[in-house]
Amino acid sequence: MLRSPKKTLAFLPKFVVETDKQTVEIKKDLTLFHPHYTFSPQNITVQGDIFAMNFSLLSNKEEIATIHKKFLSFADAYEISIQAAENEQLTYENENLAVGLVIAIDYMITQDHFNG
């Protein structure tokens, strides 16, 4: 499940991605030149070019998914490759987590482009 936390005053965007076993928060940090995003818990990291949507998601420094944006399409389209885990349930969790994070990241980047 992907949700934007309800707050009375929010200066920067923040999303929470929840799966059956894991909750990851992604928020935009205040920076002057290039947007930066923080993932919590810290075991989730992104490696690659997040702004070109060509990156890998890592959990505890182990790659769980790779994401590539398809540029020759009528709408935004992504190729998400999930790495098989030691058990089927963990692979399912990684799928849900990857899809939720891609949606949240894409939304925040799109908002940056529209807001200048």
> Using CA atoms, how far apart are residues 8 and 5, in angstroms rounded to an integer?
10
39-73 tens-digit pLDDT: 888 788 888 887 777 888 888 888 889 999 887 77
Higher pLDDT, 55 or 7: 55
CA 104 to each of CA 69, 84, 86, 88, 89: distance values in angstroms, whole numbers, following the listed order: 14, 23, 27, 25, 23
Is 74 in a helix, a strand, or coil? coil
| pLDDT of 72 | 78
* Type of residue numbered 100: G
pLDDT over threshold 80, residue 11: no
**Residue at token pair 């929010």:** 10
* pLDDT confidence bin for 74, thresholds 50/70/90: confident
* pLDDT confidence bin for 93, thresholds 50/70/90: confident
Counted domains in the chain: 1
Query: Domain containing 75: what range?
Result: 2-114
